[in-house]
Structure 1
Amino acid sequence: MSAATMTPAAARAASAAGSRPGKRRTGVVWSVVAWVVGVLFVLPALWMLLTSFHSEQAAATNPPSLAAPLTLQGYREFFGAGGGLSPWPPLLNSLTASVMSTLLVLALAIPAAYALSIKPVKKWSDVMFFFLSTKMLPAVAGLLPIYLIAENIHMLDNIWLLVILYTSMNLPIAVWMMRSFLAEVPVEMLEAASIDGAGLPTVLTRIVAPVAMPGIAATALISFIFSWNELLFARVLTGVVAGTSPVFLTGFVTSQGLFLAKVCAAAVCISLPVLIAGFAAQDKLVQGLSLGAVK
C-alpha cells in the first residue's frame, strides 16, 4: 500500500511503529543517566563505609587502597574500646532532642496548617510569608543573642534548650509543608463531621490526621533529620552534659591529627538512625512529598 492510498488510521499506526525505536532509545539513555547520577550520589557514602572498615594506616594511604585488609578497629574505638569516651550519652541526647522537637513541631504545625488551609485566616498569604521570612536570617547571626539569653536563664548545656531551638527552627518549614498537604483533604468530609457535631480536636485526630498521614510522616521525617544533623547551636550551646552526636563526631578531629577510619566509623554509626527512619518511612515520604503534585 502506497503512502497516498493509506488510510489515516494506518498512517498513524505506521508513524507510531516508526517512532517506537526512537522512544525506546531515549528511555534507555535517560535510564543510564539516572543510574549514573544515583551512583555519583551514593559513591561518597559507600566510600565512607569502606574506609570505616580499614585501619588508620590503610585509610591514610594516597592513593587509597581498595584491597586493604578489613578490620573493626574503628568501630571498637568509636564505642569506647581502649578507654575512649562512650558515644551513648551523645546519641541519647540527639535522640531526645530530635524526637521531642519533632513531636512539638507536629503538635503546633498541624493546627496552624489547618487554620491556614482548611479554615483559612485573613491574609493567610502574609502569615505564610512571615513564616518563610524567619528562615532568611543566617543561623550564625542569631547565635550570640540566643547564647546570652540561655546564659541569663541558666540553660546552657541543657538538652531542653536544644528541644526548644529545634522546634522553632523546624516549625516554619513544617507549617509550609503541612498546609499543602491539608489543602488536599476533601472538604466534604469536614462538612459531614461538622454536621455530626464533631469538635476541632476530633476533626484533627480522626479525620484530618488519617487522610494527611503521608504528609505528616514526611514532615516528621524531615524535622527529625534537620534536628539530628544540626551542629552549630549544639556545638556552641552545649558542653559535657547535653552534647549531641554531631558534636561528639567533631571531637575525633584533634590537634594530633585526623583519624580518618575512626571518623568514618563514627559517621556511619551516627547516620544509621536517619537512614533507618528514612528507609522505614520511604513510601510515606514519597507519597507525602508528591501529594498534590499530580491533579
Structure 2
Amino acid sequence: MSASPSTASRRGAVWTMLAWTAGVLFVLPVLWMVLTSLHSEQDAATNPPSPGAALTLQGYREFFGAGGGLSPWPPLLNSLTASVMSTLLVLALAVPAAYALSIKPVRKWSDVLFFFLSTKMLPAVAGLLPVYLIAEHLAVLDNVWLLVVLYTSMNLPIAVWMMRSFLSEVPVEILEASAIDGARLPTTLLRIVAPVAMPGIAATALISFIFSWNELLFARVLTGVVAGTAPVFLTSFVTSQGLFLAKVCAAATCISLPVLIAGFAAQDKLVQGLSLGAVK
C-alpha cells in the first residue's frame, strides 16, 4: 500500500530538516573560523569566545606580511604549482589506464584495480623515511617538482578507480562507430571519451587537486625554505610564544579559499560525476 500524500509530505519535511541540520553542522566550524579570523587576538582568546566582539582585519594584514612578517605568496605559488601539475599528470595517466580497465578490459582487471587500491592501505608515514632517503640521494629535497611526482603517485590509484567507474558508462556503440570511421586511440580518448565522461573527469580532477593542496606530511618533511607549501606555511603560525588564534584562523581561511572556489565552480560537474552510474 502506497503512503498517503500527507504522510509522504511529512516524511519529506523530516528528511529536509535532517539535511539542513547536517549541512549547518558541517558548515558551522568553517563559519566560526571565519568569524574568529575577524577578531583581535585578545577577543579570539577569550573562553568562551565572544561572537559579538569588534571586527578587525588585523589577522589578515599580518598573514599577508604586514609588520615585517613572511610573505605567503611563495608557499601559495608552490601549492598551486604542485597541485595543478600533479592533477594534470594524474588525469593524463588515469584516463588511458581506466580506458584499458573498463572499455577495453585487460585480463584480470579486478586484480589490477585491487592492486591500485591496496597502495592506499599503506600508512603515509611508513613510506616517509624511504622517500626521504631517495630524495636526499637524488639531491631533490626542497624541490617543488618532487612534490609533483609524489602527489601524482599518491592520487593516481584513487583516480584510476574513479575513472574506471565513469568510463564504464560510455556507450559502446559510440566507440564502435568511431572505430569504423578509423579513429585511433588518442583521437577516441580526446574527442569521444573525454566529452562524454567530462563530469567524471571534473570530479576526479577536483578531488586530486584537494588532496594535493591539503597534503602536509610529505611537504613538511621534504621541503624547507624554497618549496614549502601553504599548509607548511600555516604551521609556522604555531610558535613557542603561543598560539595566535586570530592569525591562524585568518591564514586558514585564506589557504582554504582556492579549494572552496574550485569546489563551488565545479560543483555541478562534481555532483554529476559522483552520481554517474548510480541510477540505471
TM-score range with shorter-chain normalisation? over 0.9
The CA deviation at 1:32 is 1.0
Q: Which residue of 2 aligns with 1:44?
A: 29
What is the one-letter code of the residue matched to 1:49?
A: V
| Cα distance between partner residues in 1 of 2:269 and 2:46 | 42
Question: In the alignment, what sits opposite 1:138?
Answer: 123
Matched, 1:163 2:148: yes
Partner of 2:80: 95
d(CA) in 2 for partners of 1:128, 1:260: 44
| Aligned equivalent of 2:171 | 186
Instruction: Tell me, yes or no, if structure 1 residue 289 matches structure 2 residue 274.
Output: yes
Match for 1:247 among 225, 232, 243?
232
> SS state of the match for residue 175, structure 1?
helix
Between the aligned partners of 2:77 and 2:59, the Cα distance in structure 1 is 21
Task: Write the letter of the residue equivalent to 1:81.
Answer: A
After TM superposition, give the deviation of residue 175 of structure 1 in Å: 0.1
Q: Which residue of 39, 58, 68 maps to 1:83?
A: 68
Task: Find the structure with the greater CA-based Rg.
Answer: 1
Instruction: Quote how far apart the aligned CAs of 1:172 are.
Output: 0.2
Shift of 1:268: 0.4
Residue type at the aligned position of 1:131: F
Tell me, which stretches of 5 or more residues in structure 2 are unaligned?
Answer: none
Task: Tell me the C-alpha RMSD between the 2 structures.
Answer: 0.9
1:136-285 equivalence runs, <5 A? 136-285=121-270
Whole-angstrom CA distance in 1 between matches of 2:191 and 2:12? 44
Q: How much has 1:20 moved relative to structure 2?
A: 1.8
Q: Distance in 1 between matches of 2:22 and 2:184?
A: 49
3-state SS of 2:226 partner: coil
Shift of 1:28: 1.1
CA distance in 2, matches of 1:187, 1:144: 46
SS in 1 for 2:55: coil
1:74 equivalent to 2:59? Answer yes
* CA shift digits 1:168-225 (9 cap, x unpaired): 0000000000000000000000000000000000000000000000000000000000
CA drift of 1:21 comes to 1.6
SS in 1 for 2:157: helix
In the alignment, the residues of structure 1 paired with residue 134 and residue 126 of structure 2 have an alpha-carbon distance, to the nearest angstrom, of 14
SS class of match (1:28): helix
Please list every run of at least 4 consecutive aligned residues from structure 1 whose deviation after the TM superposition is greater than 2 angstroms.
Answer: none
Q: Residue 5 of structure 1 aligns with which residue?
A: none
2:35 is aligned with what amino acid?
Answer: L
Q: 1:115 aligns with which of 76, 88, 100?
A: 100
Deviation at 1:34, TM superposition (A): 1.1
Shift of 1:30: 1.4
Q: What amino acid is the match of 2:144?
A: I
Name which of 40, 50, 67 aligns with 1:65. 50
Identity across the alignment (%): 86
2:40 corresponds to 1:55? yes
Give the aligned length.
Answer: 280
- Separation in 2, partners of 1:170, 1:52: 32
- Say whether 1:34 aligns with 2:47: no
